[in-house]
């Protein structure tokens, strides 16, 4: 299948973005964006009204204000613009999973095999531009067989052309070099001085001398635009492995409406997962708001899953984060990561009597998913380390823990440890002698027994330098309490409780 | 089978009818518990604890309570959830618990920021058919409704549910099947505890016993039984 690309050029994106954010600005007032270049303040972008009054990007700010005293000015925000364009690329994923931002002011969509869903290429182009226009963003578009050609057509022609695949060279030929190839001004001037104004003039020249004079970059751009060189796009998000989507006739606002749509999407997606023989690990619900914003809710599972009821329960708490505003007009469910359902998940297929065990395993995985959404859940990974702080590592609860090293477990260890060791005051008959009294918890306790010390040296290969060695003592108080004390650098601390 | 069917036979067998009714009452009272059966714990007075039920442990010291819970949960033979509140300054220390017979491979630690989250987690865990045991470590008393909810959740699953609470608290009514109190005793190598059965549903309070945990054989041993038991022996 030949590739088809839809390019959208947003000629006034910088000012349109400001108008969208500041609703109070009347569309009749001319608006421009300025940026500081060294000590000079220059216009960076102008809207249609300001352009009609003769203002151009690159003009000094003072000149512009003199020409048009009513001009509204805003400082340019390149990061904000890039973010807004990236968000727009996410919005464009409603047409194809392969949508990319084309900075500074364009979008590129790989619509191969997607156009028929919207009634053909012309209606698709019309709908995309219509929605942008409705959202207050001026747009021009084009569809062609190569991404760079489509981009050049959208920028250089105002009639939103659709070019048949294979005719890239012919349609790109008459385009002006500056807009089609997006060349830096200096190179553009020297090309103009040679009389090279259009793409076909450049394409007819011998390649060697052209590359020597203007660099390989020019040839690369030229080849991409005339379709001699493929120009891949970088999608805003990697395409999902499986997805299901639903367009709403009426925007939905209520939670019950969202739940109903999610139910249908989940059923549809789970059917597809079953057909593909895989389970989902990461699932994202995308909701397109009427005003063009796209919201995401993501869940993850510890084991590959394809049970709609379980996934629905995981979404239940997260859906509160969606802000419908004026309503969602489209919702999609995307499986960002899937895994084949392993033999371990369904041993019942192999051996009939083991289904109960498989059910239990699945139930545990689902329980851990649910708990993990709200609480901190972890398994214990024993580590071979004599230094007690390193003996236990936290592990994802869905993984299998490593085996216990020799001597790791001992009845002499404490069963409970303090998150933060508590300093203690002790009293001894002689300095440095064993303590006889212990002051802890606002009371003084007499020591009935004391065992120790168990002297542990810090692990030099892991510890921070200056880590002091520790002496551990097992202590029994006259109240019967059995404690695990530590003495390091002459200070006593309570580290845990003994069984 | 309805009791009426059995009475339809010629002989009016009152004993058989009573037995059928009793069986029915048992089924109504705790369907899951009857199916899940008992967990045998050699060395524990009474020989074991009912599965699919909630048991309360009041600990005079935090260490002995955790160790006693670990001994009980270690016999469950399956996944064990240890649910603790974040407000608690103590955290379970798996090497020590493993010394009390709880295999770290079976252990899943859950930390809840709020008490209601901990209760929710405990309820979910008890309902799950794949969980063999769960312990909820609490610092406060629980209202009767909460323990009733936990008990019902336990009956829906097959897990041994433990509520571990400080022993200083005044014993409030609870829906748990049994209530034990454990206190530490002087010990040299293996831990020793003073154990009392304070309350048992359908039984009488019992004890006190002196128990010792033998790490080498991974078994509990009764060192000293109450006088009444010795007299009957």
The predicted complex's ipTM stands at 0.81
Q: Structural domain boundaries of chain A? A: 1-238, 242-369, 378-409, 416-497
Å between A400 CA and nearest CA of chain B: 8
User: How high is the pLDDT of residue B232?
Assistant: 45
Percentage of chain A exceeding pLDDT 90: 13
Q: Which residues of A touch B183 (CB under 8 A)?
A: 480
Task: Assess whether pLDDT exceeds 50 at residue A422.
Answer: yes
Task: Assess whether pLDDT exceeds 90 at residue B125.
Answer: yes
Q: What average pLDDT does chain A have?
A: 86
Q: How far apart are CA A329 and CA A117, in angstroms?
A: 16
Structural domains in chain B? 38-232 (3.40.50.300)
Instruction: Verify whether the Cβ–Cβ distance B191 to A498 is below 8 Å.
Output: yes
Task: Assess whether pLDDT exceeds 50 at residue B1.
Answer: no
Task: Assess whether pLDDT exceeds 90 at residue A241.
Answer: no
Average pLDDT, stretch A237-249?
Answer: 86
Query: Which A residues in the span 472-491 are in contact with B, Cβ-Cβ below 8 Å?
Result: 476, 480-483
Q: Does A454 touch chain B (CB under 8 A)?
A: no
Closest CA to A290 of A327, A319, A257: A327
Q: What is the pLDDT of residues B54-69, one digit of tens each?
A: 999 998 888 899 999 9
Q: Which residues of B touch A382 (CB under 8 A)?
A: 94-95, 98, 104
Asked if domains A1-238 and A242-369 share a fold, the reply is: no
- Residue pair A288/A328 in contact (Cβ under 8 Å)? The answer is yes
Could you say which of 3.50.50.60, 3.30.390.50, 3.40.140.10, 3.30.1490.100 is the CATH number of the domain covering A242-369?
Answer: 3.30.1490.100
Q: How far apart are CA A486 and CA A476, in angstroms?
A: 14
CA A320, A322, A325, A330 dihedral sign is: negative
Q: Does B139 touch chain A (CB under 8 A)?
A: no
Residues 6+ apart with CB under 8 A from A151: A7, A9, A102, A106, A108, A142
User: How high is the pLDDT of residue B231?
Assistant: 45
A333: confidence class by pLDDT, cuts 50, 70, 90? very high
Highest CATH level, class, for A1-238 = alpha beta
CB pairs under 8 A between A and B: 162
More confident site: B227 or A422: A422
Q: Which of A375, A448, A482 sits opposite B63 (nearest CB)?
A: A482
User: How high is the pLDDT of residue B28?
Assistant: 65
The top-scoring range by mean pLDDT among A22-26, A105-109, A115-119, B218-222 is A105-109
User: How high is the pLDDT of residue A336?
Assistant: 87
Q: Does B213 touch chain A (CB under 8 A)?
A: yes
Q: What is the pLDDT of residues B176-213, one digit of tens each?
A: 888 999 998 887 778 888 888 888 887 788 878 888 88
Instruction: Verify whether the Cβ–Cβ distance B131 to A364 is below 8 Å.
Output: yes
User: How high is the pLDDT of residue B2?
Assistant: 47
Instruction: Verify whether the Cβ–Cβ distance A417 to B93 is below 8 Å.
Output: yes
Instruction: Verify whether the Cβ–Cβ distance B93 to A414 is below 8 Å.
Output: yes
More confident site: A473 or B190: A473
Q: Does B168 touch chain A (CB under 8 A)?
A: no
A352: confidence class by pLDDT, cuts 50, 70, 90? very low
Q: What is the pLDDT of residues A266-324, one digit of tens each?
A: 999 999 988 888 888 889 999 998 888 889 898 888 888 888 888 998 898 888 888 88
Residues 6+ apart with CB under 8 A from A257: none
Query: Which A residues in the span 346-365 are in contact with B, Cβ-Cβ below 8 Å?
Result: 359-361, 363-364
> Max alpha carbon distance in chain A (Å)?
103
Q: Which residues of A touch B93 (CB under 8 A)?
A: 392, 413-417, 496
Average pLDDT, stretch A450-465?
Answer: 81
B227: confidence class by pLDDT, cuts 50, 70, 90? low
Nearest residue in chain A measured CA to CA from B158: A360
């Amino acid at each position: 299948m030949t590739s088809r690309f839809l390019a959208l050029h947003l000629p006034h994106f910088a000012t349109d973005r400001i108008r969208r954010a500041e609703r109070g600005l009347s569309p009749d007032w001319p608006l421009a964006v300025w940026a500081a270049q060294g000590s000079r303040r220059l216009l960076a972008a102008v809207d249609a009204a300001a352009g009609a009054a003769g203002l151009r990007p690159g003009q000094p700010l003072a000149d512009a204000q003199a020409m048009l005293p009513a001009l509204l000015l805003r400082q340019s925000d390149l990061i904000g613009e890039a973010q807004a364009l990236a968000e727009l690329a996410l919005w464009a994923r409603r047409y194809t999973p392969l949508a990319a931002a084309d900075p500074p002011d364009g979008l590129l969509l790989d619509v191969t095999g997607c156009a028929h869903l919207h009634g053909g290429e012309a209606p698709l182009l019309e709908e995309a531009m219509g929605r942008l226009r409705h959202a207050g963003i001026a747009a021009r578009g084009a569809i062609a067989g190569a991404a760079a050609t489509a981009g050049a057509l959208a920028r250089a022609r105002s009639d939103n052309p659709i070019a048949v695949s294979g005719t890239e060279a012919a349609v790109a030929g008459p385009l002006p070099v500056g807009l089609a190839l997006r060349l830096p001004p200096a190179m553009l001037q020297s090309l103009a001085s040679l009389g090279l104004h259009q793409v076909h003039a450049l394409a007819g020249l011998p390649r060697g001398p052209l590359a020597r004079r203007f660099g390989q970059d020019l040839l690369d751009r030229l080849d991409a635009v005339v379709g001699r060189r493929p120009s891949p796009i970088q999608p805003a998000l990697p395409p999902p492995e499986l997805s299901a989507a639903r367009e709403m006739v009426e925007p939905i606002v209520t939670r019950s409406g969202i739940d109903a749509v999610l139910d249908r999407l989940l059923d549809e997606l789970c059917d597809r997962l079953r057909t593909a023989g895989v389970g989902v690990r990461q699932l994202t619900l995308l909701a397109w708001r009427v005003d063009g914003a796209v919201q995401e809710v993501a869940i993850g599972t510890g084991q590959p899953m394809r049970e709609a009821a379980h996934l629905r329960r995981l979404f239940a708490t997260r859906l509160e984060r969606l802000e419908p505003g004026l309503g969602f007009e489209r919702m999609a469910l995307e499986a960002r990561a899937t895994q084949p359902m392993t033999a371990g998940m369904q041993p019942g297929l192999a051996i009939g009597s083991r289904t109960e065990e498989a059910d239990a395993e699945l139930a545990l995985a689902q329980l851990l998913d649910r708990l993990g959404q709200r609480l901190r859940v972890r398994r214990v990974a024993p580590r071979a380390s004599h230094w007690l702080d390193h003996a236990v590592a936290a592990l994802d609860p869905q993984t299998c823990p490593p085996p216990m090293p020799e001597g790791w477990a001992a009845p002499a260890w404490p069963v409970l440890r303090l998150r933060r060791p508590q300093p203690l005051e002790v009293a001894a008959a002689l300095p440095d002698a064993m303590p006889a009294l212990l002051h802890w918890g606002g009371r003084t306790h007499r020591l009935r027994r004391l065992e120790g010390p168990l002297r542990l040296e810090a692990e030099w290969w892991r510890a921070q330098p200056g880590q002091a060695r520790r002496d551990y003592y097992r202590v029994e108080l006259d109240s019967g309490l059995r404690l695990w004390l530590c003495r390091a650098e002459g200070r006593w601390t309570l580290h845990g409780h003994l069984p | 089978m309805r009791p009426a069917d059995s009475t339809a036979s010629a002989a009016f067998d009152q004993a058989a009818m009573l037995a059928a009714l009793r069986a029915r009452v048992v089924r109504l009272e705790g369907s899951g518990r009857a199916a899940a059966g008992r967990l045998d714990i050699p060395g524990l007075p009474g020989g074991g604890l009912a599965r699919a039920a909630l048991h309360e442990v009041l600990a005079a010291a935090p260490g002995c309570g955790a160790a006693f819970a670990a001994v009980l949960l270690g016999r469950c033979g399956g996944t064990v959830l240890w649910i603790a509140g974040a407000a608690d300054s103590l955290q379970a220390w798996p090497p020590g618990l493993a010394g009390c017979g709880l295999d770290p491979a079976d252990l899943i630690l859950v930390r809840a920021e709020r008490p209601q989250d901990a209760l929710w987690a405990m309820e979910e865990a008890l309902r799950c058919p794949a969980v063999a045991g769960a312990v909820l470590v609490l610092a406060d008393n629980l209202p009767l409704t909460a323990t009733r909810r936990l008990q019902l959740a336990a009956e829906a699953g097959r897990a041994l549910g433990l509520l571990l609470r400080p022993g200083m608290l005044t014993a409030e009514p609870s829906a748990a099947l049994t209530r034990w109190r454990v206190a530490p005793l002087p010990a040299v190598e293996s831990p020793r505890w003073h154990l009392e059965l304070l309350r048992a549903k359908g039984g009488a309070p019992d004890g006190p016993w002196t128990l010792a945990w033998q790490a080498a054989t991974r078994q509990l041993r009764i060192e000293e039984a109450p006088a009444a038991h010795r007299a009957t022996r």
